[in-house]
Structure 1
Amino acid sequence: MIEFELDLKRGNFQLQASLNSEASVIGLFGPSGSGKSTLLSLLTGSLQPQHGRILVDGRCLLDTARRINIPVHQRRIGMVYQEGRLFPHLNVRHNLSYGLQLLKPAQRRFKLDDIVALLELGPLLEQRPRQLSGGEQQRVALGRALLAAPQLLLLDEPMAALDDRLKAQILPFLRRIKDETGVPMLYVSHALHEILTLTQHIAVMQAGRLLAHGDAYEVLGTEHVLPLTQSLGLENLLKLQLLPSPQESGCSVALCGQQQVVLPWVDAVAGCEVAVVIPASSIALAKQRIEGISIQNQLHGTIRAIRTHDQRALLSIDVGAELLVEITEKSRQDMDLQCGDSVCCLFKTQAIRLLGHQRKA
């Protein structure tokens, strides 16, 4: 769906990035200053490379060798930034319809009413941006970008300015866009769990280089990317099914495969899907279940892969879902852990962060 080879030099910074992917959603992951936003500017055409080419769904947007350079306004690339960047003098309805009015009827892909329904914007249509919360502004920005009928939607850390509560509100809408519109997306974030909410396909950047792309758990274990994982903060995203739980206990219980996980209290009915985040470094390993311990969660699993770097060991463990666990290499050696071994993954309920929930269809 997207293919590019780009070479840009500006002062002391050089970007050299190449990617060819059929994934409908790609998560662009990397530390601050690695060139993620610069890459998006090259894709939109607001920044010009010295050399390169860009194809989206087979349509050539840029080819410096053939002197092809489609102008920004004709590239049909939607862009959503950290801030909504809405027109302050227009209400929500007119912000949404701005891009729609610039298209000929034959070019329009979505109807205003459909996007309003998709993003639940009906009660906000007559309000001005200053009357909206940060999460509401981002939903309007998403709607405006979709109504411009993009061939590709670029999202540059769209939740970086939101707190966890608002992030939990926005993530389900991003999943809806992915599932219901079919618009390819390139989602930029330095928060891995946000990316994994949308896609397992990631591309990792560092210092202007695109180091690797593909399945997230395979990419994170490659020798070029593994040194980055400590500074980036590896997190697991698990989608669990909520079980009936008494509120007076102060905790909820959910299923991960066939095993139970004790969560902070979730105000939702049984059967809902709950998305949770668990840092890889917050999980301890034991060779068997431990009795007489306050840690509530002890999931049995099988080690599927082990990668090591700089006295750190990153283990991929199948517990009914894939779980990344980060321990010291000394611990791994002392326990003589090998691929195929059965282990118990231990983590506190307090280590779990809730992202939100939705009723299962």
Structure 2
Amino acid sequence: MIEFSCRLARARFTLDASFAAPGGCLALFGPSGSGKTTIAKLIAGLDRPDSGRIVVGDRVLVDTDAGIRTPVHRRRVGFVFQDGQLLPHLTVRQNLDYGRYFTPDDAAVAGFDAVVDLLGIGHLLAARPSTLSGGERQRVAIGRALLASPRLLVMDEPLASLDADRKLDILPFIERLRDELALPMIYVSHAIEEVARLATKVVRLSQGRVVAEGTPSDVFATALPDATRDRFELVSFLTGTAVRELPDYGMTVLAHPAGEITLPSRFGPPGKSLRVAVRATNVTLATESPHGLSVRTSLKGRVRSVALGDDASALVVVELEGGDRISALLTRLAVADLGLTEGRDVYALVKAVAIDERAVGSF
């Protein structure tokens, strides 16, 4: 359990935020300057609030009213920075050993061999940081943080400096941390695909304030854009089971009660449960079963709600067969021409290439 309620005033920025979250992966999401990193540093003890209270598990780390300010080295918070910040004169093994140097063996979250295996860095132990790729450096940085036996792992934009391919390489390892170690995590990001894939709860920030919190579906798919969000942040989440791969085409097909979902990459063997994030701007609605289209995913459902914006936009939420909901951001003209009203049977269409592989995760 994480409880956070702090205020911090600076010359050009004020943070005044409160939230609580159970275990799992809590994502702090928002644009640059919204307060994400400030919150991460306050939890880790790298900055001090003017007032407030921070609790991790059963330990009070900060309570300004009670005069409690736990020193950084006693908080047991593992912190992974954007650039890894490995010690350049040490090998990978020595960097990892540095992580566990300050922690008693009986407090270990996981042993050295288990962490090395989990992160797939056994072949790098003799290498120095300067010879590693960006993704490899970040995996080593995560390993060093884990070997410090933290009660909480904080990752501050850990993939921000990586290209798309390296991000795809490292995201499965972060999933394994979440699922296999059951270690509470705070993941800081302004990349919606990463948050959609990893988070069990999201706190969305704007200008130092919490503007939304809840499950990814609660935060990203519920309302028309306003001043604190843009239309590309409207995302729906669908869960399906892999039923077959199409190796000749590099694709995976998921079974869903409303139809098949075709993904633009291979995601492992049949039987695997996957959560897929779909942007509302990438959803097309049809009032009849489509034929002769290049679109591979067609999901049957019924219009649950229609919200008309002040501009040209309209948000249509479709209740799919099986219970999932998918949002489509259309124009008000399209809503009028198609006669889209509550209760209308429709088909939600999604191009496979519009689905970002970074936003497909196992749950």
- Using the size of structure 1 for normalisation, the TM-score is 0.88
User: Match of 1:255, as an amino acid?
Assistant: L
Residues 1:330 and 1:23: Cα distance change in structure 2 (over 3 Å): farther
Say whether residues 1:293 and 2:308 are aligned partners: no
* 2:236 corresponds to 1:243: no
Q: Which runs of structure 2 are paired with 1:213-228 in the superposition (5 Å)? A: 213-220=213-220, 226-228=226-228
Task: Name the stretch that deviates more: 233-242 or 70-79.
Answer: 233-242
Asked whether the equivalents of residues 204 and 213 of structure 1 are also in contact (C-alpha less than 8 Å), the reply is: yes
Query: What CA distance in whole angstroms lies between the structure 1 residues aligned with 2:339 and 2:7?
Result: 45
Kindly state the Cα deviation for residue 313 of structure 1 after the two structures are TM-superposed. Answer: 3.1
Aligned to 2:134: 134
1:168 counterpart = 2:158? no
User: Could you list the runs of 5+ residues in structure 2 that have no partner in the other structure?
Assistant: none
Letter in 2 for 1:335: L
| 1:135-188, Cα deviation, whole Å (9 max, x unpaired) | 111111111111111111111111111122111111111111011111101111
CA distance in 2, matches of 1:332, 1:224: 15
Deviation string, structure 1 residues 232-271 (Cα, Å, up to 9, x no partner): 5444565651524361xx4635024142234446496655
CA distance in 1, matches of 2:224, 2:69: 33
Kept after mapping to 1: 8 A contact 2:88/2:130: yes
Alignment-derived partner of residue 114 in structure 1: 114
Structure 1, gaps ≥5 residues long: none
Partners of 1:307 and 1:200 in 2: CA distance: 27
Once the two structures are superposed, residues 20-40 of structure 1 have per-residue CA deviations (whole angstroms, 9 ceiling, x without a partner) of 222421111111111111111
Separation of aligned partners in 1, 2:275 and 2:168: 9
Hey, what's the Cα distance between the residues in 1 that align with 2:252 and 2:109?
42
Equivalent pairs counted in the alignment come to 358
What residue identity is the alignment partner of 1:349? A
TM-score (norm 2): 0.88
Secondary structure of 1:41's aligned partner: helix
Residues 141-156 of structure 1 correspond to what in structure 2 (within 5 A)? Answer: 141-156=141-156
SS in 2 for 1:294: coil
Given that residues 98 and 144 in structure 2 are in contact (C-alpha distance below 8 angstroms), is that contact kept between their aligned partners in structure 1?
yes
Deviations 1:67-95 (A, max 9, x none): 11011111111111211111111111111
Supply the distance in 2 between the matched residues of 1:35 and 1:156 (Cα, whole angstroms). 12
User: AA paired with 1:351?
Assistant: A
Distance in 2 between the 1:102 and 1:59 partners?
Answer: 19
* Cα RMSD, aligned residues only: 2.8
User: Which residue of structure 2 aligns with residue 344 of structure 1?
Assistant: 347
Deviation track 1:267-312 (CA, whole Å, cap 9, x = no partner) reads 9665566776543212111112232333333222234455554433
1:317 aligned residue: 318
Matched with 1:255 is 254
Distance 1:41 1:355 in 2: 26
SS at the partner of 2:291? Answer: coil
Against the structure 1 CA distance between its residues 131 and 101, is the aligned structure 2 distance closer, same or farther, given a 3 Å change threshold? Answer: same
Residue of structure 1 in register with 2:45 after alignment: 45
State the secondary structure of the residue aligned to 1:160.
coil
Q: Give the superposition deviation at 1:223.
A: 6.4
- Asked whether the 8 Å contact 1:307–1:313 carries over to 2, the reply is yes
Q: Which sits farther off after the overlay, 258-267 or 1-10?
A: 258-267
Distance 1:63 1:299, change over 3 A: same
Q: Structure 1 residues 304 and 139 mapped into 2: Cα distance closer, same or farther (>3 Å)?
A: farther
Structure 1 residue aligned with 2:123: 123
